[in-house]
Structure 1
Amino acid sequence: MLVGVVLVLGLINISSPAKAEKAVLLPAPSAEVLAAVTPAAQTSETAVFAGGCFWGVQAVFQHTQGVLSAVSGYAGGSAGDADYNRVSGGGTGHAEAVQVRFDPKQISYAQLLQIFFSVAHDPTQLNRQYPDVGPQYRSAIFYTTPAHKLAAERYMAQLGSAKTFPSPIVTQLAPLQGFYAAEAYHQNYATLHPESGYIAQFDRPKIANLQALLPAVYRAQPVLVP
């Protein structure tokens, strides 16, 4: 997570010039994917997505209709190592992730998958997202229910069969063992720091892409972490 060309928060060096975020509207989840998601019986469900720096992923879901909260944090490692200084070293097993609590009567888990793969990140980049490199920036879905696992498996298979990306999807699919909220200064970062060079290049385009490609689920006012 860089601001301009100045390294911040102890992040890694850039080995090649940063590229602007790209996005393409991917196929809507198939009937087979939708069938994996049980009919909405609860007022809220939880999903955890990892796709590089959590600032931008959080911002995308904060601007999504039906999302009740989106919290930046860490998943894939233990509670004792779940702090930014340790995670940013890349050796704790964590990924920077976002916990999304949503109302399944307003938006389905299958729709969240479409947003995640379409605009939140590039699922073909292994252990990196653009200038951010390391396993802590990996693409991952940490599923919380068997239905979510099945839906994610089927949607990734659908995208693979359709050859929607020029390279294979490398998204990790793993059970959620624990989610640990990130430090307060990481929450709502894209909203609070629009002047940041990093936010301008990598995260504001994600929000614009959500609005342009999926206007039916876009919300102008983000739902913020208190």
Structure 2
Amino acid sequence: MKNLILGIAAAAVVVTLATQRTGASEAVRVVPAPAIDAPAAKGTAVAVLAGGCFWGLEGVFDHVAGVTNVVSGYAGGKAATAHYEVVGTGLTGHAESVRVAYDPAKVSYGQLLRIYFSVATDPTQLNHQEPDSGTQYRGTIFAQTPEQAKVAAAYIAQLNRVKAYPAPVVTTVETGKSFYPAEDYHQNFLARNPTYPYIVINDMPKVAALKKLFPAQYKG
């Protein structure tokens, strides 16, 4: 679906659609912080998250203070099928994902999940994130440790319990799945292509929402 946006040629149309999407982003909610969090560790920790196109996920987490590196890629399937055109069939078990390296002394795993649920993805959409559909766009937290799995599962239960959204959270937690970096042309896509129509319409509003709703955790 991402490639279909290439058919939008008129700048006026792009601006109009972006404005509409930005207006919708005003309704993005700040969900409650997780009741439990992963214990702080020394050095660099890693989170792997999926929830729609990895361009937007990478763009959001690139702007989170304490995050040291973000890589777009695939998780949930096998190494042999970790290629964009194959993943796009929706038959590989992979989801477009990001690997987020961060300093736990500056940002916690729970804080990353709060940003993920608040501005990076709509966790009520099953195998779908506007304007993309398919299991490769599913919302999944690929826990890297037993502690991460515990925090993620408890947080999803918490958000459902307090009815943080008008519909149930359908984000899943998967363990024991490897992450495979995507092709070079997908890396830093938002930063390198800020005027690309898909980015303008779908992803820049997420970065703007991060800056507005989490100013203390936003880095330019």
| 1:15-74 deviations in Å (ceiling 9; x for gaps) | xx99836321111222xx13xx12x23211111000100000001100000001110000
Residue of structure 1 aligned with 2:34, choices 29, 37, 44: 29
Cα offset, 1:104, TM superposition: 0.3
- Residue of structure 2 equivalent to 1:6: 7
Gaps of 5+ in 2: 9-16
Cα root mean square deviation, aligned: 1.7
Shift of 1:3: 6.0
1:218 corresponds in structure 2 to: 218
Structure 1 gaps, min length 5: 8-16, 221-226
Q: Deviations over 1:172-215 (max 9, x none)?
A: 11014210000000001111111111101110000000000011
Alpha-carbon spacing, 1:169–1:79, altered in 2? closer, same or farther (3 Å) = same
Q: Does the residue aligned with 1:160 lie in a helix, a strand or coil?
A: helix
Task: Assess, with a 3 A threshold, how the Cα gap between structure 1 residues 110 and 77 changes in structure 2: closer, same or farther.
Answer: same
Partner Cα distance (1:5, 1:187) in 2: 19
* Partner in structure 1 of residue 129 of structure 2: 129
Question: Which structure dedicates a bigger proportion of its chain to helix?
Answer: 2
Q: Secondary structure at the match of 1:117?
A: helix
Counterpart AA for 1:42: K
Aligned to 1:79: 79
Q: Percent identity?
A: 48
Q: Does 1:114 align with 2:114?
A: yes
User: Per-residue deviation at 1:4?
Assistant: 3.6
Mapped to 2, the partners of 1:2 and 1:168 lie a distance apart of 30
| Structure 1 segments of 4+ aligned residues over 6 angstroms from their partners | none
User: Partners of 2:46 and 2:204 in 1: how far apart?
Assistant: 24
The CA deviation at 1:154 is 1.2
TM-score (norm 1): 0.87
Moved more, 174-183 or 132-141: 174-183
